[in-house]
Structure 1
Amino acid sequence: MRKGIHPESYRFVIFKDMSNGVTFLGRSTAHTKETIVWEDGNEYPVIKLEISNTSHPFYTGKNVLVDTAGRIDKFKKRYAKK
């Protein structure tokens, strides 16, 4: 692995899956303004995810319909005329 190409400012953050509400603690360099109190009583920055391994059909084995920002409604409106 080459030295000096990876960030050194990794910090603990909470990842929150917005489709099912599952949260997990990990490390990231992504910046966020929101924080949340974790199970250990400490406050961590929170990064919101639209889909994660807890809701993705590949990992769950189920076909789950995730409607992000009304994409399905937009699709139905667009093709309802035909």
Structure 2
Amino acid sequence: MKKDIHPTNYRLVAFKDMSNEEVFITKSCADTKDNIEIDGVEYPLIKMEISSSSHPFYTGKQKLIDTAGRIDKFKSKYAKRAN
């Protein structure tokens, strides 16, 4: 292995899933300017849009998206241009 290519500044960091407000604490070397206090201890905070606690593959739940409404809205919006 090559020497001195891996980061050495690993520390405990809080990762927060913004879709369901769940927080994970693990070691990371990612930089962040935000902080969060958990049980009286302050951790650097990294905000995530999705994690294993909210991803449909892991939860088995899917969000129902109104695709029919979107398609109808698209067709009615651009129907004038097609003629």
TM-score, normalized by the shorter chain, greater than 0.5: yes
Give the share of equivalent positions with the same residue, in percent: 57
Structure 2 stretches of 5 or more lacking a match?
Answer: 65-69, 79-83
Q: Matches of residues 70-81 of structure 1 in structure 2 within 5 Å?
A: 76=70, 80=74, 81=77
- Mapped to 1, the partners of 2:5 and 2:63 lie a distance apart of 38
- Mapped to 1, the partners of 2:60 and 2:3 lie a distance apart of 39
Aligned length: 69
- Mapped to 2, the partners of 1:10 and 1:64 lie a distance apart of 36
Q: How large is the Cα RMSD of the aligned pairs?
A: 1.8
Q: TM-score, normalised by structure 2?
A: 0.72
Q: Matches of residues 1-82 of structure 1 in structure 2 within 5 Å?
A: 2-39=2-39, 41-64=40-63, 76=70, 80=74, 81-82=77-78
Q: TM-score, normalised by structure 1?
A: 0.73
Amino acid at match of 2:54: S
Structure 1 stretches of 5 or more lacking a match?
Answer: 66-75
